[in-house]
């Protein structure tokens, strides 16, 4: 009779910008020891390991990848396996310590840089960009945009995608880092693997659910003043997950359709943008 041994082996660890940990476990069948991951979420997750495993009395048939991407809603996704050399001797797998997790595919280095985004508000509205890419207040080395707008303004999706995060229970905002984790927001995964986030939303102002497939122009939320903010505004950022970045994000510039839709440009700080399409 075959014996199958299943053990939860890894200590789960996350950073402030990391997401909930994945379940990693091993199984032994005869002389093969395999590591598996279950990802119950609707989006891919990336795992980062700090170093290669070290083994005693075992072979490593395939090089262990330090960054592994686990497909959405996958069960028993194998990330590594080892073969016992001499079954009469003891074996050991060592140096596979804590791991880090991020939402999305952290191996992506390219994206659809030619994609044209819609302005994230309704037709007929105009808003000023208080802070643009690499802004001096809080956007240093970050490609993010702050649109000044009254609380309760309808926010629309700038691009098609899948809703993967939605937080709307917070009711506090302040101009210090003390409120950094109190922002309401929506995250949308795009077809090229990039992720857009819409921040500082109104309490109970999210109009979509996790898992929803939304189209460009759909109303997704109401703007607010929650989190680290010095006034009501929408913070928009698009990024690729990146373990090497201090914020675990490689933020990217996005082209927007402006005015009547006949012109596109990268949004600039201190300018007012009107949506007429």
pLDDT at 1: 35
Mean pLDDT, all residues of the chain = 89
Percent of the chain at pLDDT exceeding 70: 89
94 touches 59 (CB < 8 A): no
With 90 as the cut, is the pLDDT of residue 169 above it? yes
Total-model pTM: 0.87
With 80 as the cut, is the pLDDT of residue 168 above it? yes
User: What does the domain layout of the chain look like in residue ranges?
Assistant: 23-103, 117-275
Angstrom distance (rounded) from CA 41 to CA 145: 28
Band the pLDDT of 195: cuts 50, 70, 90. very high
Place of tokens 């194998």: 78
Lowest mean pLDDT segment, chosen from 3-12, 101-110, 131-140, 199-208 = 3-12
Provide the sign of the torsion angle of the four alpha carbons 218, 222, 227, 233, taken in this order: positive
45 touches 102 (CB < 8 A): yes
The whole-number average pLDDT for the span 53-77 is: 93
Q: Are strands 144-148 and 272-274 parallel, antiparallel or unpaired?
A: unpaired
pLDDT at 15: 29
Percent of the chain at pLDDT exceeding 90: 78
pLDDT at 48: 94
Band the pLDDT of 142: cuts 50, 70, 90. confident
Q: How many helices (H) and strands (E) does the chain have?
A: 0, 27
The class that CATH gives domain 117-275 is mainly beta
Angstrom distance (rounded) from CA 74 to CA 97: 23
The whole-number average pLDDT for the span 30-59 is: 93
Neighbours of 272 (CB within 10 A): 10
Strand order in the sheet with 154-156: 154-156, 219-223, 201-206
């Amino acid at each position: 009779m075959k014996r199958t041994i299943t053990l939860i082996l890894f200590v789960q660890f996350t950073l402030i910008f990391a997401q909930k940990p994945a379940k990693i476990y091993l199984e032994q069948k005869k002389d093969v020891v395999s590591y598996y991951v279950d990802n119950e979420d609707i989006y891919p997750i990336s795992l980062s390991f700090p170093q290669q495993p070290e083994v005693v009395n075992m072979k490593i048939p395939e090089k262990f990848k330090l960054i592994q991407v686990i497909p959405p809603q996958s069960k028993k996704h194998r990330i590594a396996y080892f073969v016992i050399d001499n079954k009469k001797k003891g074996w050991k797998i060592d140096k596979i310590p804590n791991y880090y997790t991020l939402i999305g595919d952290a191996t992506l280095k390219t994206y659809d840089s030619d994609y044209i985004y819609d302005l994230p508000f309704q037709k007929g509205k105009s808003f000023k960009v208080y802070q643009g890419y690499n802004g001096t207040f809080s956007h240093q080395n970050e490609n993010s945009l702050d649109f000044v707008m009254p609380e309760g303004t309808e926010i629309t999706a700038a691009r098609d995608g899948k809703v993967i995060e939605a937080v709307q229970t917070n009711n506090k905002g302040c101009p210090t880092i003390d409120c950094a984790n109190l922002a309401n927001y929506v995250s949308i995964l795009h077809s090229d693997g990039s992720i857009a986030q819409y921040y500082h939303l109104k309490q109970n102002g999210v109009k979509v659910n996790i898992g929803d497939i939304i189209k460009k122009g759909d109303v997704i939320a109401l703007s607010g003043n929650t989190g680290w903010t010095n006034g009501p505004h929408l913070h928009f950022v698009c990024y690729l997950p990146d373990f090497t970045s201090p914020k675990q994000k490689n933020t990217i510039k996005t082209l927007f359709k402006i005015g009547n839709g006949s012109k596109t440009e990268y949004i600039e700080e201190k300018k007012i943008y009107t949506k007429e399409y």
